[in-house]
Structure 1
Amino acid sequence: MLIAMAGLPGAGKSTVGQALARRLAAPVVSVDPIEAAMRRAGVAADQPTGLAAYVVAEAVADGVLALGQHVVVDAVNAVEAARAQWRALAARHGVPVAFLEVVCPDQDLHRARLAGRRRGIAGFPEPSWAAVQRLRAAYQPWPAARPGEPEPLRLVLDSTVEVEPNVSTALAFLGVRS
């Protein structure tokens, strides 16, 4: 199964995704460290490194799925093109795709988490609250299933809830035993 995390920076998607991956013994393919590595390799930040990071993450996830393993993709997935990328990858492998969108409905808590976040990704500064607000404004709604296509699995998790209950909810939703 391909499990694609989604949500704004600082909402808690990496925390939930990593905890879920530990329970599934599945690798996490995270876009931010990939983008940071490209920058450290000399690709300028004014280049489309974000898009390139998604393409590299897809290639890595493709290899994991080819081994017959679950994979958790950690990315914002704010636009339909990114979500379609994961649906297409899963379809190529004949495996299900599930989207776990993590939200933090408490704006003050979300802002505080972002301000206190120190992931230590060399070459990748933490986004500002203003940047998250711009991303929120550009975040595309999730479309309904297209005619003739099954609706992809999508679960919205509230990160004001503790991590372990969210992981248990996700596992039950996915129908996967850890």
Structure 2
Amino acid sequence: MALIAMAGLPGVGKTTVALGLAERMPAAVVNVDRVESSLVKAEFERSFATGLASYLVAEQVARDNLALGHHVIVDAANYVTYARDMWTRLAREQSTPLLFVEVVCADLALHQARLEAREVVPGLPRLTFDDVVARYAETEPWAGEPHWLVDNARPLDHDRVFAEVMAVLGK
């Protein structure tokens, strides 16, 4: 079993990469935005608290699946240290390998076009490219966490990405 935590700005293609990996592993995918969307649907007002609760629910779902021996992919931005530390602690607690798969889109025009074309998660706001630029400014540097970089600016070869990730995980 392994824990893979996606990382990257909105619109870079984290979900696309996560789903491609999940099909090949196979793995359970826990999408933090979908958890938060469910909280909003249950009439919780969207706030910092619902965002934090979404990560905590995702953590518990990941924990339960890892305890069952399943691979887990957490689909979340993970651009701040606090979020990344959550997955580091969980992997240590479950004695499982951890890999952050950081997805970027080096072509800024393509990144903006993907962001504008992507489906909005119900209950969550449509982000603008200015929002993404602001998040980029808030992104905290990597502090030695194991991570693999995927540039989604070119067409993805999901089989190659899967093989590279599995090699990094030692699988």
TM-score w.r.t. length of structure 1? 0.89
Which of residues 160, 164, 168 is equivalent to 1:169?
A: 164
Shift of 1:125: 3.1
* 1:5-24 matches, cutoff 5 A: 5-24=6-25
1:71 maps to what in 2? 72
Separation in structure 2 between the aligned mates of residue 52 and residue 24 of structure 1, nearest angstrom: 28
Find runs of 4+ consecutive structure 1 residues off by over 3 angstroms.
none
Alignment root-mean-square deviation, CA: 1.4
Is the CA contact (8 Å cut-off) linking 2:97 and 2:169 kept in structure 1? no
1:149 maps to what in 2? none
Separation in structure 1 between the aligned mates of residue 82 and residue 142 of structure 2, nearest angstrom: 11
Kindly indicate whether residue 83 of structure 2 is the aligned counterpart of residue 82 of structure 1.
Answer: yes
Which of residues 124, 133, 148 is equivalent to 1:155?
A: 148
Shift of 1:29: 0.3
* 1:1-178 matches, cutoff 5 A: 1-119=2-120, 121-144=121-144, 152-163=145-156, 164=158, 165-176=160-171
Aligned AA for 2:153? T
Separation in structure 1 between the aligned mates of residue 70 and residue 89 of structure 2, nearest angstrom: 17
| 1:75-125 superposed Cα distances (whole Å, 9 cap, x missing partner) | 000111100000101111111111110011111110010011115x32223
Gaps of 5+ in 2: none
Is the CA contact (8 Å cut-off) linking 1:5 and 1:73 kept in structure 2? yes
Gaps of 5+ in 1: 145-151
Separation in structure 1 between the aligned mates of residue 47 and residue 166 of structure 2, nearest angstrom: 39
Shift of 1:13: 1.0
Separation in structure 2 between the aligned mates of residue 111 and residue 47 of structure 1, nearest angstrom: 25
TM-score w.r.t. length of structure 2? 0.92
Separation in structure 1 between the aligned mates of residue 14 and residue 51 of structure 2, nearest angstrom: 17
Sequence identity percentage: 43
Aligned AA for 1:172? A
Shift of 1:65: 0.5
| 1:32-57 superposed Cα distances (whole Å, 9 cap, x missing partner) | 00000001111101352111110110
